[in-house]
């Protein structure tokens, strides 16, 4: 069984959408990635930091999913990272109401010794120097390094970001970020330019419009599953990344063909995430739920094209 190291935030979120609002609830990129990847029954570890205000029940939840939490540093006299946001009616745009770094401001990740040889590393959205420091701790070269980032780091730490991008195999960003990073409007051209920066595979997430996977001249597109209700998009991108990384860690196959499957699994898991606030839907998700939705995905995407010479 492959080991998966997940680096990112374990945090508090407060969310408001057209369907309601929450007080502080469990959030953070590493949390969503970990819960998603746990569906594949792999040996995973979260590297993060929380304050003394972080409830033990949340740590117990992660442990109950067979996620190693020895890499989560607890600063007893500190406060956990907190983010608050409000989504617009289209659910595609949001306003950040508050960002409190708290203990995250001084985060120096320490990968647990028995995970320094992990085959797959998932670098969640953090400062590029933090992401680089994790790669420096790996004692053997990982089979696959996946990086997620955002426009904030492109604005504030571009040189550091470009340095860590050189060291990864897969980058996952959304369409707006791909355009900002490359200065190209066409996502095909943008992906080609990102390839020259280092990553062999480029995943461009398009929210409710699915995701694109690029490798050399190969392109694969996976739609998002049409849903009756979308309550909260928070963490959907991280859930996608967790499904993608978890599937690769489970199968051990880093070919383009297998990554197509990883994209489908990531999209499937993300479709659950948005159905309730925060991590609520992911907490009780079963393999039967996932299998049923995968069949829906298959029905949505597979068909025989009839080639008629007379047309």
Largest CA distance in the chain: 75
d(CA 33, CA 49): 15
Provide the angle, in degrees to the nearest 10, between the axes of the packed helices 29-37 and 236-251. Answer: 40
Q: What is the DSSP letter of 226?
A: P
- Beta carbons within 8 Å of 22's beta carbon, 6+ residues apart: 13, 14, 15, 16, 277, 278
**How long, in residues, is the chain?**
311
Identify whether 117 is a catalytic site residue.
no
HSE-CB for 61 with a 13 A CA cutoff: 19
**What 3-state class would DSSP assign to 44?**
strand
Beta-ladder partners of 3: 43
3-state helix/strand/coil string of 163-214: HHHCCCCEEEEEHHHHHHHHCCCCHHHHHHHHHHHCCCEEEEECHHHCEEEE
Residue 225 gets the label, from left (phi > 0), alpha (psi -120 to 50) or beta, of beta
The total of other beta-carbon atoms located within 10 Å of residue 184's CB is 16
Task: Please tell me which residue in 68, 148, 238, 289 is annotated as part of the active site.
Answer: 238
d(CA 120, CA 60): 24
Q: Which residues are catalytic?
A: 238
């Amino acid at each position: 069984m492959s080991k998966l190291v997940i680096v990112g935030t374990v945090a508090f979120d407060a969310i408001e959408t057209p369907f309601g609002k929450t007080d502080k609830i469990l959030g953070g990129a590493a949390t969503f990635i970990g819960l998603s990847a746990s569906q594949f029954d792999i040996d995973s570890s979260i590297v993060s930091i929380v304050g003394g205000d972080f409830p033990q029940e949340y740590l117990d939840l992660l442990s109950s999913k067979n996620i190693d939490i020895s890499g989560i540093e607890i600063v007893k006299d500190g406060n956990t990272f907190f983010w608050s946001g409000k989504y617009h009616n289209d659910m595609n745009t949001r306003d950040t109401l508050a960002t409190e770094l708290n203990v995250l401001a001084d985060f120096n990740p320490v990968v647990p010794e028995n995970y320094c040889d992990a085959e797959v590393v998932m670098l969640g959205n953090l400062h590029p120097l933090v992401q680089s420091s994790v790669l420096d701790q790996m004692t053997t070269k990982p089979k696959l390094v996946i990086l997620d980032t955002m426009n904030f780091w492109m604005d504030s730490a571009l040189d550091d970001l470009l340095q860590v991008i050189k060291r990864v195999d897969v980058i996952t960003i959304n369409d707006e970020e791909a355009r900002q990073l490359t200065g190209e409007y066409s996502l095909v051209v943008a992906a080609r330019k990102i390839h020259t920066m280092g990553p062999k595979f480029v995943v461009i997430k398009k929210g409710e419009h699915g995701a694109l996977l690029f490798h050399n001249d190969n392109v694969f597109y996976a739609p998002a599953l049409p849903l009756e209700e979308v309550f909260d998009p928070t963490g959907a991108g991280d859930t996608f990344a967790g499904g993608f990384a978890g599937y690769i860690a489970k199968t051990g196959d880093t070919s383009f063909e297998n990554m197509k499957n990883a994209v489908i699994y990531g999209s499937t898991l993300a479709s659950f995430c948005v159905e309730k606030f925060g991590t609520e839907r992911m907490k009780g998700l079963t393999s039967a739920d996932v299998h049923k939705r995968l069949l829906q995905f298959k029905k949505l995407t597979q068909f025989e094209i009839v080639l008629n010479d007379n047309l």
